[in-house]
Amino acid sequence: MVLSNFFQPTLDFAKQLDKEDNLSHFREEFYLKPDSIYMDGNSLGLLSRRAERTLLESLADWKEHGIDGWTQGNHPWFTLSEKLGELSAPLIGASPDEVIVTGSTTVNLHQLVATFYKPEGARTKILADELTFPSDIYALQSQIRIHGYDPDTHLIRVKSRDGRFLEEDDIIEAMADDIALIILPTVLYRSGQILDMKRLTEEAHRRGILIGFDGCHSIGAIPHSFSEWDVDFAYWCNYKHLNGGPGGVGGLFVNRKHFGTNPGLAGWFGSRKDKQFDMEHTLTPAESAGAYQIGTPHVLSLAPLLGSLEIFSEAGIANIRQKSLQINQYLMNLIEHELADYGFIIGSPREDVRRGGHVSLEHEEAARICKALKKNNVIPDFRAPNIIRLAPVALYTSYAEVWEVIQIFKKIMAEEQYKIFHNEREVVA
């Protein structure tokens, strides 16, 4: 169904869309809070029954086997990161040995930059952008300092023309002869814009520059083809669209053409498995992305992802993307129809090919409106200074819920309910 042609702003139309939704049965897999509508899956995905099951199975392995849980039980811990890498690979568009589940987003970025940032001659700078997530910038500044350079001169940030989006042409123009490495988001965390990763990778390689991507806001929401696009490396978290749990272990991808490159930050879990317990003082790195692990895996934070990835395997990322596009288009149609008089601006790309898994609404009273939404049992997401992010998640959000959310928005604005709150963010936004 093409919503732009058939859209109706009625609850009956929303219920009809739910009847036609071939992913609707997955909603039963998740713990949904009664009388509440969760629209923040782009920040933290909800717990599924399967993720709970595999966590409890790993606890049972510890309970039953003690230290032998490293090699015995439901999910032996010694190879758990590799197993999860294999299960994640179809979502990344990579071979199983190019993916490992390890570390966290920022730790993995540090590892990858420490490995692949090799300033030499005129090529000493890192190219990023001014709209990326702050933690990435902090890590890049840190790595530049470690190499003896000044971040003020050696971290180049491509500017946005409008404060919302990036133009690929501007990024390509900034790929100068002094750039040694490029780090960009797959999806911008505020606006939800998807960058053309294939084109950017081709242009970087044409100039002899390595390029890596932060996939935190795309993994589990859109398909990727990192191997086919010849991306050098990528890193991401697993707790947003992949529903791996708060503080869940992250993931990284390293193109097989770089296998054999010594890890910049070495640790014993980067060892080849058959050599790890030889306890030698010379590292024999794994002949895969596993080489870029550092320390012992956080087993109880890995375990829920086993169950979550089962669901993704069954649902299929192509089906998830199709539902995500349709339900977000429905959301935008409702916003335009119902909220036109209240000063909201849709700050996400309208084209499907350029929009990720969430919709950003801009409003000068955004912080107050978010508080009023929570008071009405809708869980949104706020990003300073003026963005309300809404993420109807393909696996557990219904069209009827989206319809209800917009009716609540309309009531909040018509009754000026937001005015009882301060227009400032909470400590955790």
Q: 3-state secondary structure string, 96-165?
A: HHHEEECCCHHHHHHHHHHHHCCCECCECEEEEECCCCHHHHHHHHHHHHHCCCCHHHHEEEECCCCCCC
- On whether 106 is known to bind a ligand per the annotation, the reply is yes
- On whether 71 is known to bind a ligand per the annotation, the reply is no
- On whether 214 is known to bind a ligand per the annotation, the reply is yes
- On whether 239 is known to bind a ligand per the annotation, the reply is yes
- On whether 136 is known to bind a ligand per the annotation, the reply is yes
Classify residue 410 by its DSSP letter: H
**SS3 for 378?**
strand
- On whether 177 is known to bind a ligand per the annotation, the reply is no
Q: What is the dihedral of CA 300, 212, 99, 392, to 10 degrees?
A: 60
Rounded to whole angstroms, what are the CA distances from 243 to 50, 77, 247, 305?
11, 20, 11, 7
- Cα-Cα-Cα-Cα dihedral sign, residues 396, 40, 107, 356: positive
- On whether 105 is known to bind a ligand per the annotation, the reply is yes
- On whether 134 is known to bind a ligand per the annotation, the reply is yes
Number of H helices, E strands in the chain: 14, 13
Give the type of residue at 65: H
- On whether 296 is known to bind a ligand per the annotation, the reply is yes
Beta partners for residue 235, in sequence order = 214, 252
* Residues in the annotated binding site: 105-106, 133-136, 214, 217, 239, 268, 296
- Annotated binding residues for pyridoxal 5'-phosphate, as ranges? 105-106, 133-136, 214, 217, 239, 268, 296
